[in-house]
A and B are shown apart, each in its own frame.
Chain A
Amino acid sequence: MTAITDIPDAPRAARRPQAGNPVLRWLRTNLFSSIPNGILTVVLLALLAKGIFSFVQWGIANAVWLAPANDSSACRAARGIGACWAIIPEKYRFILFGTYPFDEQWRPALSVLLFIALYYLSTRRVLWRRELVYLWIGALALISVLMWGGVFGLSFVSQDRWGGLPVTLILATFGLAFGFPLGILVALGRRSKLPAIRSLSVLYVELIRGVPLVSLLFMASVMFPLFMPAGFNIDKLLRAQIAIILFAGAYLAEVIRGGLQAVPRGQYEAADALGLSYWRKHRLIILPQAIRHVIPPLVNTFIAFFKDTSLVLIIGIFDLLTTAKTAIIDPAWQQFSVEVYIFVAAIYFVFCFAMSRYSRSLEAHTASR
């Protein structure tokens, strides 16, 4: 064998067909192709085995799975040698739904399911039609009714009692639902021939992208009341939502701008030759192609953005991460924060991993065309 097998992505030299057991053959080509490679495999296997062994010891074998309500003595006894998963059944209602009235928590639970159904339907390529927009509007309205209540015999629950997973999903979904059209407008503005509109768009994008989201959130929570007329006060959640929409708009605008640049010049000229107006040209011809070009980076932006909503913890909004952090303030359970963070990380991971898998499949789909 030549030395090139060590080089990343070197084209594999044609191997002599090897006789024998296919498992052995696989092992030889993938794990023991050369002596350094074999040593590396053995070292990695040893480390992996040690890692898995200690995790199984801590997370499964010595773990405490259930404990009587409000009693952390079993967990404290196992501290240091085993995980305390008992904190999850103890606290999961609070982590998932925050301080939403206990008996009404089926409403946020149903909202979460609606959100997930909405995401799922939006990924179906057959459903990418105008009706999808109506579906979104309808579902978001239904979710608002469920969360707020006050109609159809549902009791009213004010916004400051909302918390947990629904808040994370609300911030992310509304951020995208409003940030996306905003991003389209800004992207068009940035490519406009009109200097005043172009410079305003550039200024907006660069200002928002140049500063950390934390400072935008501070601005929303501290400065927004200063900007508004006296007596006009909007809710903290809505303020954060506005900051997140502005933030999403700037990032999405750059992705969409890339898509606009990828549309061939001939398409613009053809639209002009048809005598279409600026808006009709973009709505019917340019934007559908531009957005199709950038669907994979758009999904990646969505993932980044979904994770970034967790930053509202810093201004004290009860999203999923904040409820997790609050759940472990309870002195009896204080020492078991690692378990709670692993639980919440798993929830975030499921959402983001699903999105990234989806983005991968879209990429494969667009590449195959």
Chain B
Amino acid sequence: MTSDTPRPPPRRRLFGAWGPRELKGLFWQVLVVGIAVAVIAFLWSNTVTNLSARRITTGFAFLGREAGMPIADSLLPYSPRDTYLWAFVVGVANTLRVAVIGIVLATIVGTLIGISRLSANWLLSRLAAVYVETLRDIPLLLQLLFWYVLMQALPAARAAWRPVEGVFLSNRGLILPAIPVGLPQLWVLGTAVLGLALFYLIRRRLIAEQMRDGKPRPAWPFAIGLIVALPVAVSLVLGVSWTIEWPQLRGFNFVGGLTLAPEYFALLIALVTYTSAFIAEIVRSGIQSVPRGQWDAANALGLRRSFMLRQIILPQALRVIVPPMTSQYLNLTKNSSLAVAIGYQDVVSVANTTLNQTGQAIEAIALIMAVFLTISLSISFFMNWYNARIALVER
């Protein structure tokens, strides 16, 4: 350091710290913000005038009123005498029911198709390519309407198709055998989740110890103990019954089992097939992004194929896969709003009915936006967390 050389004197500026560049920046900002504020103020004042002219009161007070709208298919108990607020909650639950199950299924199907496209079997890879190209190039709404029409064209309950014993496919939807889940069953499931969490922690410890001394420590005894034996033990102690309820045709309808209504089933099929085509491409490009040398190296070490895929290829591919996968999950969730076209009552459909019944357009649309922004932000938050985790695995 040469501390004795004099510092250059600070440049003189016309307006103290404000040079012409900063002034210009300030000017542009004031201009743009000014225009934005003016436009919003203009729209706002028009809206206030229009609302008072149409005698529509603003605010969310309408949420406490009786909704009076029917919701045919819902997870949560609902009757038309419930409030608008509860109808919204039921709508949100329906959106989540499609989105969560859709994301899981689309990931599975998409991964299978993506791997098939890379198969050494020419026929399999061609078929997978046709699947991807066709589904990607036709609008989702058109596919949704197509599936819905097919669902409606299915035979009546009496003549239902039975592809497998206990499974019925008819114009009433898909009926599956199910295990009725009550409080005791939930206890057992809770234990299983707890066991899974414990197993995860123990496995992390074991890996850390292996890192220290290089001795492999098998994790599977813990897996059996915590994930299988513990819930079974709890189930036996509590005496929980796990009898499967088989659906049966009585008169004109089915009794028992789990019913997926035609609207729900059509929406699920459309979302899963459409999104899986995109996921397949993401998985394919992820696997292809792993340099060939990695395959060669793993082969040269004589690693087992499953070990090689799990420990060498997948961790590297995931780094490429996860960010675009996040957008696909977000897309699937947002696309579930197309439900309104076939009358499945998700949050958008409920909000639309509310809007038509009460005229509270601003509030209804604000609610839709709030719900989707919350879901979007949660998904990207979770996926960013996961992304950060797998990025660490890399070193």
Listed in ascending order, the chain A residues whose CB lies under 8 Å from chain B are 3-12, 30-31, 33, 37, 40-41, 44-45, 48, 193-197, 200, 207, 209-215, 218-219, 222-223, 225-230, 303, 307-308, 310-311, 313-314, 321, 325, 335, 337-338, 341, 344-345, 348-349, 352-353, 356
Contacts and interface: CB of A to CB of B under 8 A. Distances in A.
A78 to B, nearest CB: 14
A6 B373 contact: no
Contacts of B115: 8
Contacts of B1: none
B61 to A, nearest CB: 19
A213 B49 CA distance: 28
Interface string B284-295: 000110001001
A144 B242 CA distance: 67
Interface of B: 25, 28-29, 32-33, 36, 43, 46-47, 49-51, 53, 115, 118-124, 127, 133-134, 136-143, 145-146, 149-150, 153, 287-288, 292, 295-296, 299, 305, 308-309, 334-335, 337-338, 340-341, 348, 352, 355, 361-362, 365, 368-369, 372-373, 376-377
B365 A37 contact: no
Contacts, number: 178
Contacts of B28: 194, 197
B365 A215 contact: yes
A218 B46 CA distance: 19
A349 B49 CA distance: 46
A199 to B, nearest CB: 10
A46 to B, nearest CB: 11
Contacts of A200: 32-33, 36
A225 B25 contact: no
A218 B305 contact: no
21 contacts: A4-B295, A9-B288, A10-B120, A10-B299, A11-B296, A12-B120, A197-B32, A211-B334, A212-B368, A213-B334, A214-B337, A214-B340, A226-B46, A227-B43, A227-B47, A228-B46, A321-B145, A338-B146, A345-B138, A345-B146, A356-B133
Contacts of B138: 307, 345, 348-349, 352
Nearest to A310: B139
Contacts of A227: 43, 46-47, 50
Q: Is the interface of B mostly helix, strand, loop or mixed?
A: helix
A341 B118 contact: no
A349 B365 contact: no
A215 B138 CA distance: 21
Given A7-B295, A200-B33, A212 B122 contact: no
Contact of B142 (A37, A341, A353): A341
Nearest to B32: A197
B267 to A, nearest CB: 13
B377 A210 contact: yes
B134 A218 contact: no
